[in-house]
C-alpha cells in the first residue's frame, strides 16, 4: 500500500524517526493541540481507507481474472444469487 503518513512510515521502518516530516507529525499527534491531533488522525484514516479501497478493487479484479469460476468473488456472487431467490 502507498504511504499514508510519514509517522506511519516510521512505524513500519520505511522512514527514519529523525526525518523532519516524521518529527513534525509526531509533534502534532503528541502535542497539546487536541483539535490538530484529531484532524491529523482523521486525515490519515481517510487516506488509509482510500488506499485500501482502491487496492481491494484491484485485488478483486485480479483474483477474478486468475481464478475464473473458482474465484472467491464469483462464488460469493453466486451464493448471493441463490440466497436472494
Residue ranges per structural domain of the chain? 6-84
| pLDDT (tens place) for every residue of the chain, 85 residues total | 678 899 999 999 999 999 999 999 999 999 999 999 999 999 999 999 999 999 999 999 999 999 999 999 999 998 887 877 6
Q: Which three cell numbers stand for residue 58?
A: 484491484
Supply 63's cell numbers. Answer: 483474483
Q: Is 77 helix (H, G, I), strand (E, B) or coil?
A: helix
Amino acid at each position: 500500500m502507498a504511504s499514508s503518513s510519514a509517522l506511519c512510515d516510521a512505524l513500519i521502518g520505511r522512514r527514519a524517526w529523525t526525518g523532519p516530516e516524521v518529527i513534525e507529525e509526531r509533534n502534532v499527534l503528541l502535542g497539546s493541540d487536541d483539535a490538530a491531533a484529531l484532524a491529523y488522525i482523521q486525515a490519515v484514516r481517510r487516506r488509509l481507507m482510500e488506499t485500501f479501497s482502491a487496492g481491494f478493487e484491484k485485488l478483486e479484479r485480479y483474483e477474478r481474472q486468475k481464478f475464473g469460476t473458482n474465484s472467491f468473488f464469483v462464488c460469493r456472487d453466486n451464493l448471493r444469487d441463490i440466497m436472494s431467490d
